[in-house]
Structure 1
Amino acid sequence: MPGFLRPLTRAFTYTRWLHVLLGSAIAWVSASIYPGLSEPSYTDWALVTVVPVPLLVAAAMVPVVRRAEGLQARMMLFPGQHARVPGEEVEEPGISVAPSASWRDRVRTAVWLVFRLETGIALVLVTGQLIGTVFAVTGANDQPPESDGLLLPVPGPGWSVLPVSVLLVLAEYGALLAAGHVTAVVARRLLGPSPAERLAVMEERTERLLERNRIARELHDSIGHALTVAVVQAGAARAAADPEFTARALEAVEETGRAALEDLERVLRVLREGEQPVGARPDLTDAERLLQSARAAGAKVDVEVTGPVERLPGPVSREGYRMLQEALTNVLRHSGPVPVRLRIAADASRLVLEVRNALPGAAGSTGRGGSGLRGIRERATLLGGRATTGPLDGDWQVHVELPLR
């Protein structure tokens, strides 16, 4: 089929045509009352296009009208995949279905309703003229020329009847396509999301991305820590070949695994239940269990805590716990059971976390550059702080500073 005839096979060609015609329905209802459609003059036709305008402007002031127009435009101007040729891409409507939230929205809705009115009237008149002329050219019109209301000259019988009729039909076809396309373009501009709606959508999308990243970090830190402790404990127990040590190692693996399962269950509840309340997340007041698991894995942890850690803001304390967990996990994973110096210092303005451990090899040959340390830096940045990681004087250091205000 030629390309210019392909729209004839697409449902949205006809839904758009119907949408344009429906926009002028109020004009014909009001015109039947005033000024009347019995032998209308040019002045009467002008009144048909003007009389309904105040009614439409008044209707546009009702917020829900914008939602109704948005839904109608989505269904008829931008139908979904069911109305498309198989394999054809469905274009994004870009039409808002929210009620008017400001006077700017109301004004845009009023302009849209008036545009639909005038476009629909124009399409009805053009369609009537073109179809009437085709009937007159082919002799199917039973009205005399002086009363048929046609504006186009009608050629007499002869060889031109067929080409003139084809041209008129093509003109009608082009008018339908043009009216539907122009209406779709204008709909995107007048019924599209307002700046406030666009901002709300962007904020919601950003929140979803941040939540996904947070959940990924939670799983990485919690499950990664549990698996690291389990691996280190299993290796140490096998090397020691001591029943008493093996029992302690299994107990540490059990406790760490149980805590990881609790974290996993909480994250899964977030994913399943959305905004439903979930169990409390651990914070720095629960740091002792991290230290116990690290010590059980063979690390010698020296802790220095200063300041009112228990009075830290919730987000800072919870994120600080995860940073500490990841730092200790990195020690066990990359350096093994080595001495670790941990400092937690809180005052009125900031929280400082510092984890230092001896490097097993030459300073600088750490191999630490995975997602765990990147997660620590990302957490610190989201809270307005900073985190530095790397070799320092023969040790590996994780240093975090988080503002409390």
Structure 2
Amino acid sequence: MPRLLRPLTRAVTYTRWLHVLMGSVIAWISGAVFPGLSDLTLADELLILLVPVPLVVAAAMVPSMRRAEGLQARMMLMPGPHARVAGGGEVDPGISAAPSASWRVDPGISAAPSASWRDRGRTAVWLVLRLEFGCAVAVATAQLLGLSLAMLGATDEVPDDDGLLLPVVVRGWVNIPLSLLPVLAVLVLIVVSGHVMARAARRLLGPSPAERLADLEERTEQLLERNRIARELHDSIGHALTVAVVQAGAARAAADPEFTDRALEAVEETGRAALEDLERVLRVLREDGRPASGRPTLADAERLLDSARASGAQVDVEISGPLDRLPGPVSREGYRMLQESLTNVLRHSGPVPVRLRIAVDEARLIMHIRNSLPRANGSTGRGGSGLRGIRERATLLGGRATTGPLDGEWQVHVELPLG
């Protein structure tokens, strides 16, 4: 029983009923003008139902009408902050949401203007449905409530049942409990009619295939952006922490004040660069746009090399070709790949000799990084997300990256097309 009565405790049940009744207003206004609302014949009743149809169909041809109806349906038909449900949310049949989701459940109703004749047609069907269904619910509500009042009046005299489709045939005090039945029928009508309109709204005002595709593309872009930001933070912060750990360990082992000063200076510079990267990423997250400017490129690779040298690594660099003329995406992603490669060297091999070759020709960028493996054991310890991120970056740009041991050394070979 409590479950059956639960819909009656929800505010959205009554906003849905109000929404249904509002759909019939234009019919009653039109009927008041012609043919009038008193002494109606069957033909007059049909006119009241049919005369407004061309008007609402014409209104549906206006693109913004779909947006107006969608917003109204979202606010009045869908559960929201006005729904009296524990936790502030509610999920109707046909809507899926995680248990922890709040009232911000996707209602499945579009709030965009009509973009095609198909959208206009669906909007027209929706408006006609609102009109006719609203009239039917309004008449049924009035008849049931009138029947209940007539039954109460039949306790001591002949009831006034003018206009009622179901006349009262019983007289006496027995009508008092019986008069509750039409009221219960009204409550059932309120719940059922609201549920029917909510389902119809999802079908007729729901996103079109083009809108669903656009929404899917937007979500894909958001996921790709989150993945890119995660890689950015991993590369930048991971590099800074690795340099700090290596420098701190080397300074403690050296026990040389001059070396310690240099190590602290390198840690400071690397930390400052990491904070700049972090601030830039946070700024991208806060803003709607995602400007690429400000991200380091291969033209800024010298600071990575200085940081690696300050950590004790002997970096031998050979660059051929104009780095400043590389396309932005290639140069930025190349910087991150180089940063991750040097981080892996310091993390897994320590301050060892590193050979870096960067070549730029008319068609591609080639980076080749090789370093000595630790002599203690032949394991590389490099199977984490960093190397996987290098390969993913190369694949997204249409290139390729290979990593692994070769002739007693560790190599990272990257080829990126410039097109």
TM-score, scaled to structure 1: 0.91
| Aligned partner (choices 282, 285, 305) of residue 296 of structure 2 | 282
Tell me, yes or no, if structure 1 residue 108 matches structure 2 residue 101. Answer: no
1:360-399 counterparts in 2 under 5 A? 360-361=374-375, 365-399=379-413
Contact 1:364 1:391 in 2 (8 A): no
Q: Aligned AA for 1:64?
A: S
Q: Aligned AA for 1:49?
A: L
Q: Aligned AA for 2:82?
A: H
Deviation at 1:294, TM superposition (A): 1.3
Deviation at 1:88, TM superposition (A): 6.5
Tell me, yes or no, if structure 1 residue 218 matches structure 2 residue 226. Answer: no
Q: What secondary structure sits across from 1:400 in the alignment?
A: strand
Partner in structure 2 of residue 401 of structure 1: 415
Contact 1:155 1:161 in 2 (8 A): no
Deviation string for 1:362-384 (max 9, x for gaps)?
77511112222222122222222
Partner in structure 2 of residue 319 of structure 1: 333
Contact 1:66 1:99 in 2 (8 A): yes
Distance in 2 separating the partners of 1:50 and 1:404:
65
Partner in structure 2 of residue 238 of structure 1: 252
Tell me, yes or no, if structure 1 residue 358 matches structure 2 residue 395. Answer: no
Partner in structure 2 of residue 77 of structure 1: 77
Contact 1:266 1:278 in 2 (8 A): no
Distance in 2 separating the partners of 1:237 and 1:230:
10
Distance change >3 Å, CA 48–CA 287, structure 1 → 2: same
Deviation string for 1:198-228 (max 9, x for gaps)?
2222222222222222222222212222222
Tell me, yes or no, if structure 1 residue 332 matches structure 2 residue 317. Answer: no
Contact 1:22 1:120 in 2 (8 A): yes
Q: Which moved more, 1:379-388 or 1:267-276?
A: 267-276
| Aligned partner (choices 203, 219, 229) of residue 217 of structure 2 | 203
Partner in structure 2 of residue 154 of structure 1: 168
Tell me, yes or no, if structure 1 residue 349 matches structure 2 residue 363. Answer: yes
Distance change >3 Å, CA 362–CA 196, structure 1 → 2: farther
Distance change >3 Å, CA 14–CA 244, structure 1 → 2: closer
**Count of residue pairs brought into register by the alignment:** 403
Distance change >3 Å, CA 345–CA 277, structure 1 → 2: closer
Segments of structure 2 that go 5 or more residues without pairing to the other structure are 92-104
1:227-266 counterparts in 2 under 5 A? 227-266=241-280
Distance in 1 separating the partners of 2:173 and 2:265:
102
Deviation at 1:161, TM superposition (A): 4.0
Q: Aligned AA for 2:307?
A: S
Distance change >3 Å, CA 261–CA 170, structure 1 → 2: closer
TM-score, scaled to structure 2: 0.88
| Aligned partner (choices 110, 123, 136) of residue 122 of structure 1 | 136
Distance in 1 separating the partners of 2:271 and 2:260:
16
Deviation string for 1:27-86 (max 9, x for gaps)?
000011112222111111111111001111111122222222112111211141332232
Distance in 2 separating the partners of 1:167 and 1:247:
90
Q: Which moved more, 1:235-244 or 1:184-193?
A: 235-244
Deviation at 1:3, TM superposition (A): 2.8
